[in-house]
Amino acid sequence: MRETMAEHKRISQIRHNGGPEAIEVRVLHKWKPFHTKATMTYLLVDRYGDAIQAMFHQDEERHLDKKIEIMKCYTVAGYECAFAPTYNRVAVHAASLDIDRKLTADPLTDDGTIPKTYFNFLPYEQLSTKLLKNQQLTDYIGKVEDLEWAEIQKTNSVLRMKVTTPGCKPVTVALWKEIHLPLDLSLITDVDEEVIVAFTALKVMPQQSGLQLQSSGGTRVIINPQIPLAQEMAERFRAARMGTPVSKITLRSITPVDRISESDITTIGHLYQQDIQALQSLHTVEATITEFTEARGWFFVNCTACGCRIYEKDSVYSCDKHKQQHLSYSYSVNCTVEDDTGTANVTIFDKGILTMIGPFQGITPSKLSFQLNQY
């Protein structure tokens, strides 16, 4: 194992058109973004605390796994510089690395000078600026107030953590199965003190009662992270309760929709009478769709080759790198629903639309628009 040597290029000095100069990094994380079929990502951090994403095709994974272990330190070279992803970007760096089996990764002695975490926390007051703008994903930190688990159909589930920061309203963080299953929830439920949790790479999504944070493929969840901000936050909450015991967190389970009885169903009018805290949990309403809001659009487009969000230019959707060969549509439909007690605005995503119109094979945005208008 090679000892750290003098000056290597810093991550902050990397440019999208630069050369593959050696950098000394720790490999923090590896994941496959939810919205891509073939692209995978490493997150690398250097001793100065700067981070960059390294992208590779999933066919290269077994070759790279022989060279790289998560949380180990390396001198890395043999990469190509590129622009950072334009959608679901985890690091703030404007560039990224394209890597394959030609990458060299010489092990470094871990002397503790390269961080074991990378955070770019957004304060509560700025969350609304990121609403549905997921080019750059959001890191967040707070004290756990509540845990709720729910089964989504029979193959997926979601864990909702309600977290709060000093002086701010609680925020719900929704973690999909791939993210919440590895968590040791006993670190939250079996303790008699404040539990601080840090989240990375979250999407900011709308919710009837305000905002909700939602996991992406790159999300990491660190319970009681050993960073000054977390320790300071825990101390502030500890001082605020002035010696009173901490209320233990319990994990609540929500009945799956296909097992809901008539007594579990509520009305739209009843929901409007609830306070914000009561609205944070799941509710079931029997209602009729009365209108689709076409002005909000039906869909957004990604490139399946690189994972980039694609925006319309001159009435055409085309990836700057891969042109029109790898387009993937994700659907998000806003509509009005009504029951005998009132109306509400609802946003329906892929899985909900699937239950309405059937399989997505061959469903282009124009066909979806037609089918929903016939619904």
Same domain, 313 and 240: no
Look at residues 256, 279, 298 and tell me which one is the last residue of a structural domain. 256
Is residue 66 scored above 50 in pLDDT? yes
pLDDT value for 320: 74
Higher pLDDT, 221 or 257: 221
For residue 269, what pLDDT band results from cuts at 50, 70 and 90? confident
Give how far the C-alpha of residue 185 lies from the chain's centroid of Cα atoms, to the nearest Å.
19
User: What phi and psi, each to the nearest 5 degrees, are found at residue 256?
Assistant: -55, 150
Same domain, 136 and 242: yes
pLDDT value for 146: 92
Residue at 266 is within a domain: no
Q: What is the mean pLDDT of residues 83-94?
A: 89
pLDDT value for 342: 85
Same domain, 103 and 163: no
Same domain, 129 and 251: yes
pLDDT value for 365: 59
How many domains does the chain divide into? Answer: 3
Residue at 3 is within a domain: no
For residue 4, what pLDDT band results from cuts at 50, 70 and 90? very low
Helix, strand or coil for residue 329? strand
Helix, strand or coil for residue 179? helix
Structural domain containing residue 32: 11-107
pLDDT value for 289: 84
pLDDT value for 287: 85
Higher pLDDT, 317 or 268: 268
Same domain, 243 and 150: yes
The model's pLDDT over 29-64, given as tens digits with 9 standing for 90+, comes to 999 887 667 789 999 999 999 999 999 999 999 999
pLDDT value for 5: 45
Same domain, 100 and 130: no
For residue 88, what pLDDT band results from cuts at 50, 70 and 90? confident
pLDDT value for 355: 65
Q: What is the mean pLDDT of residues 11-23?
A: 91
pLDDT value for 369: 60
Look at residues 203, 237, 256 and tell me which one is the last residue of a structural domain. 256
For residue 154, what pLDDT band results from cuts at 50, 70 and 90? low
pLDDT value for 285: 86
For residue 319, what pLDDT band results from cuts at 50, 70 and 90? confident
Helix, strand or coil for residue 355? helix
Say which CATH number the domain at 169 has. Answer: 2.40.50.140
SS3 readout for 112-162: CCCCCCCCCECCHHHHHHHCCCCCECEEEEEEEEEEEEEEECCCEEEEEEE
Higher pLDDT, 195 or 244: 195
Q: Give the DSSP H or E segment for 272.
A: helix 268-272
CA atoms within 13 A on the CB side of 280: 23
Is residue 155 scored above 80 in pLDDT? no
The model's pLDDT over 170-217, given as tens digits with 9 standing for 90+, comes to 999 999 988 999 999 999 998 989 999 999 999 988 765 568 899 988
Residue at 219 is within a domain: yes
Mean pLDDT of the chain: 84
Is residue 95 scored above 80 in pLDDT? yes
pTM of the model: 0.68
